[in-house]
Structure 1
Amino acid sequence: MENGGWNIGDYEVARRQFRLEVPERFNWARDVVERWAQDPHKLAMWWIDDHGNEKKLTFRHFVDRSARLGGALQKAGVRPGDRVIVFLGRVPEWWETMLACFRIGAVAAPGTVLLTPRDLRYRFELAGPAAVITDEAGARKVDEVREQFPGIKAFLTTGPAREGWTAYEDALAAAEPAPYADTHRDDPALLYFTSGTTGYPKMVLHTQSYPVGHRVTGELWIDLKPTDLHWNISDTGWAKAAWSSLCGPWNAGAAVFVHQPKGGFDARRTLDILSTYPITTLCGAPTIYRSLVLEDLSRWKFPTLRHCVGAGEPLNPEVIHTWREATGLTIRDGYGQTETVCLVANFPTIEVRPGSMGKPSPGFEVAIVDDQGNVLPPGQEGNIAVKVEPERPIGMFVGYWQNEEATRSTRIGPWYITGDRGYMDEDGYFWFVGRADDVILSSGYRIGPFEVESALLEHDAVAESAVVSSPDPVRGEIVKAFVVLAPGYSPSPELVTELQEHVKRVTAPYKYPREIEFVDSLPKTISGKIRRVELREREWKKKQGAR
């Protein structure tokens, strides 16, 4: 793998010179992770939970354990190209399983521990797995549907032994280490489910070369080095874990910090951890940062923290400002998808313009195009697109598993269309408007929800907000905001008016929410993205049903 001699201090030089090259025969576990394991003492993971347990694990540990797990899977009949469903929490066994799949050429298909039996049935039908690896709670869910899938060869659980399941540790103890499969760089390696903000999730297929694309993510955007301890506050079930908990850090030889919570996200516990452990770099979804800045940040100090990034959806400028005022650090947004690696980012060497996605990643041609694939000039809204012909950049997905129609629908000529809307300014910074389906059309105006949500968040009373369209007989659609109030505030008609006037002052008046509904929480995907589609569908059904 070569980086083309990228001078990280010069973004424009990097854009001209950067390239990634992957040998034809390539296996990420062998050619990257095994290399770091040559130092038997090199730290790969610092793991803690909320019960006082703590582990420091080396790269050698993960290589040796994944070799035995690979042997156990092979012994059960798992072959190269077979799918392995894995849904585990933030435990070392998840990393071991991912490495084992890379090692033997199997295709890992991660999922969140929150999957229901119905979710599992859908995933099993689509993926056709040869093996399932999960914990005790997951095994109970699988047992509700497993009889429908006689082709599954191996059921491994990290929990106590149960009928029909092999205990994870027993499987490793009885297995010989598997040799590395001599995989091709284009062999299938990962099937990630999209986070499902609209409709049923699709399965995104990546190859053995995909992790190399995350050198952009890890080394260039997150600025990781072999001496770093990186904390990505993310569930293991979505692609952000590949970005920032597995491929990005371990490409760079950085150790990952992992916290397995006993419950849901706790902002104060997170800040306590951040101030106690020698964490140097941090990645979190906007939901995380929005929760953290609601606390009195002056109570904590973060002596080792040097770099912060955010991903999942755009981070509101006021959150960036509050965090910087408290920590001296600027949260640098990055943009990409389950289908990609980091496509656009506020890289360490460029000026951050709060609210902007940043500039295109070296190695990727990103543009704003119209519905015919024509590149639009600065300032004009259109489709955020990535050029994938004549050559597909390393890190781009191959297609949607067993869904050629959906794969074709993402293409306009040589461009992959992300499904997001945005614009580029005169200086080459990209700005997010919204998902194509989220854009609100009101009296001829196109209104992106993000700008309205950001305006609302500038008001002290607002902890979170989600903006969607609501049907209107005169305007076609109006802007409606669902608002979660900050502590100390209560819903009232006066507060509705105050928030509306506030939005009129800080953004174009036509964008203000004509309706505001106060709610206790917002529906979200497991990755922390607000499910505006759920709110929008509920709103339209309610309004149209009332007519």
Structure 2
Amino acid sequence: MLEDFLEKTEFKDYNDFFANYKIKVPENFNFGYDVVDVLAQRTPDATAFIWCNDNDEELRMTFGELKERTDKAAAYFRSIGIKRGDFVMLILQRRYEFWISIVALHKIGASVIPATHMLTKEDIVFRCNAAYIKAVVAVDHRELFTYIEDAQKECPSLKTLVAVPPFGLDKGMSDEFKAKHPTWLDFTEGYLNVSEAALADFHALKREDISKNDDILLAYFTSGTTSHPKLVSHNFLYPLGHIVTASYWQQVQKGGLHLTVADTGWGKAVWGKLYGQWIAECSVFIYDYHDKFKPIDLIKQIEKHHITSFCAPPTIYRFLIQEDLSQYDFSSCLHWSTAGEPLSEEVFNKWKEITGKEIREGFGQTETTLSLFNYGNERIKPGSLGKPAPYYNVTLIDEEGNKVEDGEVGEIVVDMSNGNFPGLFMEYFGDEAKTKSVMHDGYYHTSDNAWRDEDGYFWFTGRNDDVIKCSGYRIGTFEVESVLMQHPAVVECAVTAAPDPVRGQVVKATIILAKGYEPSDELVKDIQNFVKKTTAPYKYPRIVDFVKELPKTISGKIKRKDIK
């Protein structure tokens, strides 16, 4: 299927790839019809996804079956009043109904907002009113349904609530649940038993009336640490931007099985569990757990299901290298990748020592697809984000907007002189001022900083607001975090600025200890000396705090403001 959308699929090296990778943009692209339904026609028996949970339940769904189910779900959504352009929020954790629902909503031209199950009533009210959300499809999780019901009273646009059961295969909601939550519709019962009239109504839709390339396909609320989240909107061409993500970074294979660690509420899910993988004709693996997540369970799933490629944030790798992996056979997994936060050189080297494989780092944002990455089997420089992806004319600029030289730190920006392209966001929905604040002077401004070496590799240093100014020195938080992560006692850390009457600011390290270590003054001194010896001495943390957990946003980003 790659040939359907690319002028060329094989490249001799990165330079050839960057210069000659070209997307054949369809006049009216819809992922539901042009990928899912086409694969259902060409290879109906090929596996679209494998879903399993920690209760030993398993569901394998072919593309033929997926087409049938998504057609039914699309007809069902139309029958309950959802139409082109309506915003629908999906809060489905790792339920397989997410894949059915999102493709079905694409097929009727609705706009999807995936969200986390950790939202509170206040979060839901804000999101519904900011995006005029018309319907919520949610899994029953603790108090979530109560929060949604309470929020609905303050959300004039929210008309329809659709429930998905938390456990089991194709089971509807229990009578007890229905009695407790009478305003909720039963998704399983509704779409599996959708009427022939509703199906006929859906099939009568004309493609030109369903969606256009510039319609909103998907939107995500970014997690805010200092203000309300922004709604990042992507158009119907967005899935095509993830061909690079899947095929040339994660290196998924036709007929393979790919596992990305991500809840469906986060953008990483569609990076690694949907669009690019299916365009590459690779199955996706979904692990739905009910109890507390244990990273080692992922290795067990890789061994059991012969997963061929894997992507997870560095935190997962950090916890995995604490385990005894010698008892597991995960040789089926040929490609390992990471994104979401910078990968330390220590974790990279330890993983290679254990597995013989390298972890390929990538960089992107909710507003983009993969914009910097390590290509194919070319050389990796541990700790580097890699080089720019095609279409992303990434460069570095200073505070005055001037391009910086190699070796100098600058803001990562995307040159937009050729306009928008598949993968780059359209706007912050409903907020023209915020959109203009990041799209101006011919660039999209990421607010992330990096430097570029003489070979064109980019090295992350931190966010614009994460620079510590100590006695005239400018210290990037990630620079110190990278060194700290090399110490055997450190499993996770955050570096922030602490006020100091003499130096203005000093470096503070907040640390989660690895197994077998306990807080002590001696350990503080050992960590400080380690940093002094490993990097410039002025960067060492003068304050060290040991904690059991770090404060994080609902998307898992460390809330440095709370630490400060």
Aligned to 1:196: 224
Q: Which letter does structure 2 place at the counterpart of 1:307?
A: H
- Alignment partners' CA distance in 2, 1:209 and 1:355: 31
Q: Single out whichever of 392-401 and 17-26 deviates more from structure 2.
A: 17-26
Distance 1:237 1:534 in 2: 23
In structure 1, what is the Cα distance between the partners aligned to 2:303 and 2:468? 41
Which of 357, 366, 372 lines up with 2:394 in the alignment? 366
Are positions 1:171 and 2:175 aligned together? no
Q: Which residue of 2 aligns with 1:18?
A: 21
Displacement of 1:326 in angstroms is 0.8
| 3-state SS of paired residue (1:356) | coil
**Aligned match of 1:220:** 248
1:261 to 286, 289, 295: 289
* Contact residue 447 and residue 463 of structure 2 kept, 8 A: yes
Q: Aligned residue for 1:70?
A: 74
Distance in 1 between residues matched to 2:233 and 2:528, nearest whole Å: 44
- Partner in structure 1 of residue 128 of structure 2: 124
Aligned-partner Cα distance in 2 for 1:525–1:60? 39
Whether the 8 Å contact between 2:128 and 2:158 is mirrored in structure 1 is no
Identity within the alignment, %: 40
Deviation at 1:441, TM superposition (A): 1.4
CA distance in 1 between counterparts of 2:555 and 2:293 reads 12
How do residues 365-514 of structure 1 correspond to structure 2 at under 5 angstroms? 365-514=393-542
Q: 1:374 to 1:477 in 2, by over 3 A?
A: same
Q: Which residue matches 1:541? A: none
Q: What pairs with 1:133-282 in structure 2 (closer than 5 Å)? A: 133-137=137-141, 138-159=144-165, 160=173, 161=178, 162-172=181-191, 173-175=193-195, 176-177=198-199, 178-179=202-203, 181-182=207-208, 183-282=211-310
Using the TM superposition, give the Cα deviation of residue 236 of structure 1 relative to its aligned residue in structure 2, in angstroms.
Answer: 0.7
Read off the aligned partner of 1:353 and give its amino acid letter. K
Residue ranges of structure 1 left out of the alignment (5+ in a row): 537-547
- Measure, in 2, the Cα distance between the counterparts of 1:149 and 1:169: 25
Of the three residues 87, 92, 96, the one matched with 1:88 is 92
Q: Work out the number of aligned pairs and report it.
A: 536
Question: Deviations for 1:225-258, whole angstroms, at most 9, x for unmatched residues?
Answer: 2211000111110110111111121121111111
Residue type of the partner of 2:312? G
The answer (yes or no) to whether the contact 2:128–2:157 under 8 Å persists in 1 is: no
What's the TM-score, normalizing by structure 2?
A: 0.92
In structure 2, C-alpha distance between the alignment counterparts of 1:325 and 1:69, rounded to whole Å: 47
Distance 1:420 1:206 in 2: 21
Indicate the residue corresponding to 1:542 in structure 2: none
Please state whether the residue corresponding to 1:368 is helix, strand or coil. Answer: strand
CA shift for structure 1 position 136: 2.1
CA distance in 2, matches of 1:393, 1:423: 25
Q: Is the 1:232–1:282 Cα contact (8 Å) retained in structure 2?
A: yes
Q: 1:109 to 1:66 in 2, by over 3 A?
A: same
- Consecutive aligned runs of 4 or more in structure 1 exceeding 4 Å deviation: none
Give distance in 1, aligned partners of 2:355 and 2:223: 31
- Contact kept, 8 Å, 1:11 with 1:349, in 2: the verdict is no
Instruction: Look up the SS of the partner of 2:465 in the other structure.
Output: coil
Any idea what the Cα deviations from partners look like across 1:353-382, whole Å, max 9, x if unmatched?
Answer: 011000111222101112333221111111
Tell whether the 8 Å contact from 1:285 to 1:528 is kept in structure 2 after alignment: no
Per-residue deviation at 1:112? Answer: 0.6
Query: 2:32, 2:103 within 8 Å by CA — same for their partners in 1?
Result: yes
- CA-to-partner distance for each residue in 1:239-279, whole Å, 9 max, x for gaps? 10111111121121111111011123202222222222210
- Residue aligning to 2:169: none
SS at match of 1:65: helix
Residue in structure 2 matching 1:113, options 102, 113, 117: 117
Give unpaired runs (5+ residues) of structure 2.
166-172
- The whole-number CA distance in structure 1 between the counterparts of 2:98 and 2:425 is 22
Work out whether 1:3 is the aligned partner of 2:23.
no
Q: CA deviation at 1:26?
A: 1.5
SS in 1 for 2:153: helix
Q: Is the 8 A contact 1:358 1:429 kept in 2?
A: yes
Q: Compute the displacement of 1:198 (Å).
A: 4.5
- Residue 144 of structure 1 aligns to a residue whose secondary structure is helix
CA distance in 2, matches of 1:190, 1:279: 28
Residue 540 of structure 1 is matched in structure 2 by: none
Query: Does the aligned pair in 2 maintain the 1:194–1:238 contact within 8 Å?
Result: no
- Structure 1's 155 and 394: CA in aligned 2 closer, same or farther, altered over 3 A? same
8 Å contact kept, 1:370–1:376:
yes
Q: What amino acid is aligned across from residue 440 of structure 2 in structure 1?
A: I
Q: Quick one: which amino acid aligns to residue 26 of structure 2? A: P
* Residues 133, 155 of structure 1: 8 Å contact kept: yes
CA contact (8 A) 1:193 1:238 kept: no
Alignment partners' CA distance in 2, 1:247 and 1:361? 17
